[in-house]
């Protein structure tokens, strides 16, 4: 390994694949977390009792919040698929690292 190579990126390592780039994309994790939380809160909204509804001025807040989270999850998932992440080219020169937009 030469002194020019960034730490943790050996010279003989293969370039990053699109699958690896998608796994590192934050939109994927945001989509998954909002989907899990959205489904959970929506289920709680469907099981709301009249006493819980009375506390919230007759509005089923859990149901609306859960459906909103699911909608946000769908938007993030579509965005992650429609605009795939850029796969950086390997470079041993620190001056040639990809620019962050």
Residue 70 falls within a domain, yes or no? Answer: yes
H-assigned helices in 16-87: 18-23, 26-46, 50-55, 61-82
pLDDT in tens, 23-51: 778 888 999 999 999 999 999 999 999 99
77 inside domain:
yes
On whether residue 9 sits in a domain, the answer given is: no
Q: Give 94: exposed, middle or buried? Use CB within 10 Å, 0-12, 13-18, 19+.
A: exposed
Q: Which residue has the tokens 């945001």?
A: 30
Question: Would you say the pTM of this structure is higher than 0.75?
Answer: no
Residue 67's CB is within 10 A of a number of other CB atoms, namely 15
User: Does some domain include residue 79?
Assistant: yes
Average pLDDT for 89-100: 60
Number of domains in the chain: 1
Q: Which domain holds residue 76?
A: 34-83
- The answer as to whether 73 is a domain residue is yes
Max distance between CA atoms of the chain, in angstroms, equals 69
Q: What is the DSSP letter of 83?
A: S
- How far apart are the C-alpha atoms of 39 and 59, rounded to whole Å? 18
């Amino acid at each position: 390994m030469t002194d020019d190579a960034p730490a943790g990126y050996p010279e003989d390592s293969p370039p990053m694949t699109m699958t690896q780039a998608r796994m590192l994309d934050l939109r994927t994790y945001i989509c998954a977390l909002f989907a899990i939380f959205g489904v959970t809160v929506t289920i709680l909204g469907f099981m709301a009792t009249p006493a819980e509804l009375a506390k919230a001025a007759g509005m089923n807040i859990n149901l609306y919040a859960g459906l909103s989270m699911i909608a946000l999850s769908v938007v993030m998932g579509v965005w992650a698929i429609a605009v795939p992440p850029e796969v950086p080219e390997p470079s041993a020169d620190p001056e040639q690292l990809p620019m962050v937009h």
